[in-house]
Structure 1
Amino acid sequence: MSTPITEASNSITEEIDVASPSEIVTLLEKCDQEIFDGYKDYKSIFSEEMIKTIDDVSEHVIEMLQEDGSGLVVFSGCGTSGRLGFMVARTFNELQRERKRPEIFRYLIAGGDKALFTSQEAPEDDPHAGIEALKKISEGKDRVLYIGITCGLSAPFVAGQLEYCMDNSKFVPVLLGFNPEHLARNIKIENWDKTFLQGNYNLSPDPITGSSRMKCGTATKLLLETICLTGLLDMYHSEENMYVKYPVFVPWLLKFPVDTFYAANCFRFPCACKKSKFVYCLFIESLIAYTAPIFSTHFRGEIHMVFIFSFKLSLSSLRSGGNIYYIGDDSLAIMGLIDASECPPTYGATLDDVRGFVANGYKTLQNVEGDLSHLASYLHYIMSETI
């Protein structure tokens, strides 16, 4: 295969365009499961190497937390990657706020906050804009953990920031992406004297070819949350107390068949990291958090039937010229906004086809640029102050 994995088609969903709603749900579940099972001969997300990497990055999160305000953790990306970076930064700043500790998590997204809701392609291809954004957000900080997110390892906005980080000692640069090294290629970037070398941890192809918002998005969220959660828990809680909690979940997890949760992967690899048992337990917790909804949604039972029924209603609504609205509060509503923002560039939907509404609007969102309703009518509508 000469095509990068993130741009390849998935053999599981080759006929998804002619599948029934029930069959589509089953196909998507099989694709989701590849995140945890591994893909072909590539290593699982639960491999010793991956757990070691998570541990190393979480140590740097702890380092930034210990800087007591002079440290910073920056998540940067384009499109979905930047939106997930925003959501993770928002979540962990809230946890810091609850502890009355400095809110050290920041996000950068190509095109600014408007890109949280709609595609902004031109800034994504500008490495200089990425560098300037990083300079501004990191000004006055002594140490910065920079995590650049680009699923296909092809975003010039992130590439420029990475080069800047490597030339400045106060930065700890980390790159998160999902293509194998042997498929690396050099891409000429306009108005820049560098190329972008693709290659990193690999993941199986997305259900819809090239739609990295799906499986790659899930893996990005899982990894970022695990990195930050590990850092915060290790910073603020003793390991002894955490060990008391997690063994409650592990026996519950193992009640299910291996082919359902693929829990065996978690136990086959000895963890070569500083706090291996601690990280290992957090991975189990993350596995539960991400696969339990898959189990209840994609398999049998009443929840499965409700999901299929909702699927059919959504299909009927769009076919008859109607809309799909996500309505909610806090982080779940924000996930709806992220999904709605991806439908135009990914599926050719209009801005009206799928929309999101958040209770209390921009006050809930907590984006850096605040109220954007003056920029476009659909931004006001999306972030309506009342539901």
Structure 2
Amino acid sequence: MENSSLSSLTTELRNEKSKRIHQAETIDILTIINEEDKTVAEAVEAVLPDVKTAVDFAVESLKKGGRIIYIGAGTSGRLGVLDAAECPPTFSISPDTVRGMIAGGEKALFEAVEGAEDHEDFGMRDLQSIQLSKNDTVIGIAASGRTPYVHGGLKYARQTGAKTISLTCNKDSAISKAADHSIEVVVGPEVVAGSTRMKAATAHKMILNMISTTAMIRMGKVYENLMVDVHVSNDKLKERAIRIIETVTGADKKTAEAALDKAGNQVKIAIIMLKTKTDADTAQHLLKQSEGNIAKALTIHGESS
């Protein structure tokens, strides 16, 4: 990997607007941070076509039974693990479907693991440990764009035939050259120079949310704008599930709850049952025919979606 100087990276430059921040009052510090944060969404908007490519790769992988795998170090790794961890309860998927890999392993989620990110072989090894396949999509995250752990992981992923995306905050980065496609979201110098846990991390959090959420919408796990594949694992989520069924079908709470029970706590099946006036088995069959898509299931049955 090319050894680009840190001092030449956009993420390492000093921000002219915050050079006297050490002398500012609390409200003025907060204002400076807030003003800089406002620019992040615009930077993300500029790379939406690249994010679309990542989503297309991810959907293709999911349809083949593959996975979305995030790999990163430090803050970047933690963001990937966070997004992956939130997908199972939101979309009722296996924890293996969206995976987050972080240099240094679980310990690195809570404290820095010195040197863990400095070895390309570690990135390769971690992907080997989860039996990476050509059906997977690997998204390497590094604000600097030069982290050896991520670079090594992306190189190995391409060798296996997996689709690869790099996500960074610097132009023409090393990891961009190692991936099939790159997302280079340039947010500019941080309020505290080099502290990429700020704007860079915010941009990456937004983009990871976009990739996973949009991929799941494309896979039929959202109907209208509702989480119809929510995993009913506690009382709060059951109440949410009942409200979703009520909203989509117009049923009262008692009817919605009864349908949810008959559907084995599967919101999609309950919705199809009520909208098609069929039983759970028929609804299950319609859902299977439509590859999990409610709108398609209703069309198959001749109902309006």
- Equivalent residue for 2:107? 114
Query: C-alpha separation between the residues in 1 aligned to 2:86 and 2:193?
Result: 30
Q: Residue 96 of structure 1 contacts residue 103 of structure 1 at CA under 8 Å; is this kept in 2?
A: no
Secondary structure (helix, strand or coil) at the match of 1:176 reads strand
Secondary structure (helix, strand or coil) at the match of 2:144 reads coil
Q: Which runs of 5+ in 2 are unaligned?
A: 1-6, 227-305
* Deviation per residue, 1:136-169 (Å, 9 max, x gap): 1135x45111000000011100111111122221
Q: Which amino acid aligns with 2:68?
A: V
Deviation at 1:93, TM superposition (A): 2.2
Q: Residue 179 of structure 1 contacts residue 199 of structure 1 at CA under 8 Å; is this kept in 2?
A: no
Query: C-alpha separation between the residues in 1 aligned to 2:53 and 2:166?
Result: 13
- Equivalent residue for 1:105? 98
Q: Which one of the candidate residues 155, 159, 162 is aligned to 1:163? A: 155
What TM-score do you get using the length of structure 1 for normalisation?
Answer: 0.52
- Equivalent residue for 2:257? none
- Equivalent residue for 2:145? 153
- Equivalent residue for 1:59? 56
Query: C-alpha separation between the residues in 2 aligned to 1:30 and 1:214?
Result: 12
Q: Residue 144 of structure 2 contacts residue 169 of structure 2 at CA under 8 Å; is this kept in 1?
A: yes
Structure 2 vs 1, CA of residues 131 and 103 (structure 1 numbering), >3 Å: closer, same or farther? closer
Q: Residue 180 of structure 1 contacts residue 199 of structure 1 at CA under 8 Å; is this kept in 2?
A: no
- Equivalent residue for 2:188? 204
Tell me the C-alpha RMSD between the 2 structures.
Answer: 2.6
Secondary structure (helix, strand or coil) at the match of 1:138 reads coil
Deviation at 1:51, TM superposition (A): 1.7
Q: Which amino acid aligns with 1:168?
A: T
* Deviation per residue, 1:274-298 (Å, 9 max, x gap): xxxxxxxxxxxxxxxxxxxxxxxxx
- Equivalent residue for 1:131? 124
Aligned length: 215
- Equivalent residue for 2:169? 178
What TM-score do you get using the length of structure 2 for normalisation?
Answer: 0.65
* Deviation per residue, 1:220-243 (Å, 9 max, x gap): 00000011111111211688x359
Q: Residue 44 of structure 2 contacts residue 207 of structure 2 at CA under 8 Å; is this kept in 1?
A: no
Query: C-alpha separation between the residues in 1 aligned to 2:88 and 2:95?
Result: 8
- Equivalent residue for 2:207? 223
- Equivalent residue for 2:75? 80
- Give the share of equivalent positions with the same residue, in percent: 28
- Equivalent residue for 1:24? 29
Q: Which amino acid aligns with 1:127?
A: E
- Equivalent residue for 1:372? none
Secondary structure (helix, strand or coil) at the match of 2:211 reads helix
Structure 2 vs 1, CA of residues 9 and 163 (structure 1 numbering), >3 Å: closer, same or farther? same
Q: Which amino acid aligns with 1:77?
A: G
